[in-house]
Amino acid sequence: MKGKLFMMALTGVLALNQGCNQKNEEEKKSDKPLSLVVVEPGHFHAALVQKSMYADVDSVVHVYATQGPDVKAYLDKIEKYDTRTEDPTHWKEDVYMGPDFFDKMISEKKGNVVVLAGNNQKKTDFIKKSVDAGLNVFADKPMAIDIEGFDKLKEAFASAEKNKVLLYDIMTERYEITNALQRELALLPDIFGELQKGTPTNPAVVKESVHHFFKYVSGEPLVRPTWFFDVNQQGEGMVDVTTHLVDLVQWSCFPNVSLDYNNDIKLLSTKRSATKITPSQFKLVTKSETYPEFLKKDVKDSTLNVYSNGELNYTLKGVHAKVSVIWNFQAPEGTGDTHYSIMKGSKANLIVRQGKEQKYKPVLYIETTNKSKTYEDAVAASFRSVQGKYPGIELKKNPAGWEISIPAKYDTGHESHFAQVANKYMEYLKAGKLPEWEVPNMIAKYYTTTTALKMAKEKK
CATH number at residue 77: 3.40.50.720
Residue that is last in its domain, among 169, 193, 217: 169
Identify whether residues 335 and 413 lie together within a single domain: yes
Q: What angle do CA 253, 254, 255 make, to 5 degrees?
A: 105
Residues 244 and 345 in one domain: yes
**Among candidate residues 178, 141, 28, 157, the one with its CA nearest the CA of residue 449:** 141
Q: What percent of the chain has pLDDT over 90?
A: 86
User: Does residue 96 form part of some domain?
Assistant: yes
Which of 147, 169, 191 corresponds to the end of one domain?
169
Domain-located, residue 254: yes
> What local confidence, expressed as pLDDT, does residue 332 receive?
78
Same domain as 427, residue 327: yes
Q: Is there a single domain that holds both residue 145 and residue 280?
A: no
Same structural domain for residues 147 and 246?
A: no
pLDDT tens, position by position, 88-143: 999 999 999 999 999 999 999 999 999 999 999 999 999 999 999 999 999 999 99
The number of helices, as runs of H, and strands, as runs of E, in the chain is 15, 18
Question: Does any domain span residue 31?
Answer: no
**Residues 57, 149 share a domain:** yes
Mean pLDDT value across residues 266-277? 97
**pLDDT per residue over 289-330, tens digit each?**
999 999 999 999 999 999 999 999 999 999 999 999 999 999
Q: Are residues 285 and 217 in the same domain?
A: yes
Buried b (16+ CB within 10 A) or exposed e, 24-48: eeeeeeeeeebbbbbbbbbbbbbbb
| Cα atoms in the 13 Å half-sphere on the side-chain side of 366 | 31
Position 48 in a domain: yes
Q: Does residue 194 carry a pLDDT above 80? A: yes
Same domain, 197 and 142: no
Whether residues 7 and 51 share a domain: the answer is no
Residues 267 and 309 in one domain: yes
Tell me the residue type at 413: G
Any domain includes 95: yes
**Which of 169, 193, 225 is the last residue in one of the domains?**
169
What is the domain extent for residue 416?
A: 173-459
Q: What is the pTM of this model?
A: 0.90
Residue 389: CATH number of its domain = 3.30.360.10
Identify the CA nearest to 51 among candidates 431, 413, 434.
Answer: 413
Is 149 a member of any domain?
A: yes
pLDDT of residue 43 exceeding 50: yes
Do 14 and 154 lie in a common domain?
A: no
Q: Are residues 274 and 411 in the same domain?
A: yes
Q: Is residue 371 part of a domain?
A: yes
Number of domain units in the chain: 3
In this structure, is residue 158 part of a structural domain?
yes
Q: Give the residue among 244, 237, 233, 238 at the shortest CA–CA distance from 120.
A: 233
